[in-house]
Amino acid sequence: MGSSTAIRVQKHRVSLRNAGLRPIQLWVPDTRVPGFKKECARQSSLAAMTDRADRDLMSFLDDALNDLGGE
Task: Give the tens place of pLDDT for each residue, 7-58.
Answer: 999 999 999 999 999 999 999 999 999 999 999 999 999 999 998 888 898 8
| pLDDT value at residue 61 | 87
| pLDDT value at residue 3 | 86
CA neighbours within 13 Å on the CB side: how many for 47? Answer: 6
CB atoms within 10 A of CB 9: 12
Number of domains in the chain: 1
Task: Give residue 32's domain range.
Answer: 4-67
Question: Could you read off the pLDDT of 49-65 as tens digits, one per residue?
Answer: 998 888 898 889 889 99
